[in-house]
């Protein structure tokens, strides 16, 4: 297949490399055009995937979609508000799109925007992936290091009944197991990053502020894990209020790192020993806070308020991080496009389908 990858940071090119390593072709689109610098002659991959891959790159959405069989959206959650309207205006109705991850109901928001622009009712589904196929970083303009490949990623879809179709597509592109998720809300709650990253930021804020070098997993100590587990319990209550049961943080760590499921602090200690090169952020302008709180924890709180679910620990973490960072961490423009009272219908049927 020819895959259009929308997003040229690290995750997008890494997903393109993974797909190309399985015999597919790929083109990467950068929303600003800056991310494709250095990709004129393809991309060098290192880490878990090695070699030179003839990756095409473009700053034109039309060029990215032309001749594509599938598309993957892989941009930071804080970019969704600016990028989704552009994609809704240009996405061919018959082209299936995967969103990784499905943070803040991005697949539903995209479907609503497409309906508003007059897209036909019979259009391809939007896939909602719980997280990305793997983890990576750009080590040079033309080089990406694939540091982690997940063994499984849950898949939902808009409309919900299309999940098996979208799961088959992701499996063909990326090769991992793709368990089915009942709807995009369920998939949006599964990502461990908002909980894990907020706990790490709160317990290591001065390290970030002083630009210190610190080992991420080693700092997931028993007390830090206690905070993560308290927030996980509240997230489980939120999911239950919507009729869902979630896999926990331990399962996510197992899939990403291959360590046996055990008490959380024992798992993180094993990962720290196996992956000491994974370092925590050395700046307070980190996605751990400026992305994962507004589009993760605060998103949970908005859903909880709509359903009357109490999340006092999560709310306390957000309030404390707001005080530390001195900024509003609750503003989430993604939710402006949605009427949460209509969410069950949008999750099941999509918008204008």
What φ, ψ does residue 128 adopt, rounded to 5°?
A: -120, 100
137-194 residue pLDDT tens: 999 999 999 999 999 999 999 999 999 999 999 999 999 999 999 999 999 999 999 9
Percent helix, strand, coil in the chain, to 5, is 50, 15, 35
pLDDT at 337 over 90: no
Give the per-residue pLDDT at 309.
97
DSSP letter string, 182-247: SSHHHHHHH-SHHHHHHHHHHHTHHHHHTT---BTGGG--HHHHHHHHHHHHHHHHHHHHTT----
Cα distances (Å, whole numbers) of residue 29 to 17, 23, 40: 14, 20, 12
CA distance 181 to 163: 7
pLDDT at 280 over 90: yes
22-69 residue pLDDT tens: 999 999 999 999 999 999 899 999 999 999 999 999 999 999 999 999
Q: If you average pLDDT over every residue of the chain, what do you get? A: 96
pLDDT at 349 over 90: yes
The pLDDT-based confidence of 314 (bands split at 50, 70, 90) is very high
Q: What is the mean pLDDT of residues 86-92?
A: 97
Q: What is the mean pLDDT of residues 310-338?
A: 95
Q: Which residue(s) pair with 25 in the sheet?
A: 2
Three-class DSSP category at 8: coil
Question: Helix 312-325 to helix 222-241 angle, to the nearest 10 degrees?
Answer: 120
CA distance 3 to 19: 8
pLDDT at 341 over 90: no
Contact between 195 and 249 under an 8 Å Cβ cutoff? The reply is yes
The pLDDT-based confidence of 340 (bands split at 50, 70, 90) is confident
Beta strands across the sheet bearing 134-140: 51-53, 43-47, 143-149, 134-140
Structure tokens at 91: 């996405």
Domains detected in the chain? 2-189 (3.40.50.720), 192-337 (1.10.1040.10)
Give the per-residue pLDDT at 55.
94
Q: What is the mean pLDDT of residues 227-234?
A: 98
pLDDT at 82 over 90: yes
CA distance 125 to 10: 25
pLDDT at 308 over 90: yes
Give the per-residue pLDDT at 285.
97
Q: What is the mean pLDDT of residues 254-277?
A: 95
Structure tokens at 2: 């020819």
Q: What's this model's pTM, rounded to 2 decimal places?
A: 0.93
Give the per-residue pLDDT at 131.
95
pLDDT at 336 over 90: no
Cis amide bond preceding 159, omega within 30: yes
CA distance 167 to 158: 12
54-63 residue pLDDT tens: 999 999 999 9
- The backbone region for 248, taken as left when phi is positive above 0, alpha when psi lies in -120 to 50, beta otherwise, is beta
Give the per-residue pLDDT at 144.
97
Cα distances (Å, whole numbers) of residue 110 to 32, 66, 85, 99, 305: 19, 20, 7, 10, 23
Give the per-residue pLDDT at 238.
98
Give the per-residue pLDDT at 48.
96
Three-class DSSP category at 70: strand
């Amino acid at each position: 297949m020819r895959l259009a990858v929308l997003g040229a940071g690290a995750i997008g090119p890494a997903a393109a490399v993974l797909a190309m390593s399985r015999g597919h072709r790929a083109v990467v689109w950068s929303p600003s055009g800056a991310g494709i610098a250095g990709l004129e002659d393809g991309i060098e991959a290192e880490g878990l995937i090695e070699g030179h891959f003839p990756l095409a790159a473009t700053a034109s959405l039309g060029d990215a979609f032309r001749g594509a069989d599938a598309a993957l959206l892989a941009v930071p959650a804080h970019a969704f508000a600016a990028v989704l309207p552009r994609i809704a205006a240009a996405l061919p109705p018959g082209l299936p799109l995967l969103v990784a991850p499905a943070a803040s109901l991005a697949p539903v928001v995209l479907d609503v925007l497409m309906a508003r622009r007059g897209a036909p009712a019979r259009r391809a589904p939007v896939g909602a992936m719980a997280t990305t196929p793997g983890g990576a970083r750009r080590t040079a303009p033309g080089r990406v290091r694939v540091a982690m490949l997940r063994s499984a990623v849950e898949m939902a879809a808009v409309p919900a009944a299309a999940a098996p179709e979208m799961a088959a597509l992701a499996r063909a592109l990326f090769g991992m197991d793709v368990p089915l998720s009942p709807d995009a809300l369920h998939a949006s709650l599964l990502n461990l990053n908002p909980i894990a990253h907020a706990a790490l930021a709160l317990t290591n804020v001065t390290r970030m502020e002083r630009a210190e070098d610190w080992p991420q997993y080693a700092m997931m100590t028993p007390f830090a894990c206690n905070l993560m587990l308290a927030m996980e319990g509240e997230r489980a209550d939120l999911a239950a209020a919507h009729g869902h049961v979630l896999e926990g943080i331990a399962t996510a760590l197992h899939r990403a790192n291959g360590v046996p499921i055990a008490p959380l602090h024992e798992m993180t200690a094993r990962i720290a020993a196996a992956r000491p090169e994974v370092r925590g952020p050395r700046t307070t302008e980190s996605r751990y806070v400026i992305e994962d709180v507004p589009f993760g924890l605060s998103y949970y709180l908005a859903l909880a308020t709509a359903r009357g679910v109490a999340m006092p620990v999560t709310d306390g973490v957000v309030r404390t991080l707001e005080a530390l960072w001195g900024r509003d961490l609750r503003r989430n423009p993604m939710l402006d496009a949605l009427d949460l009272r209509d969410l069950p219908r949008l999750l099941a049927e999509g918008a204008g389908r």
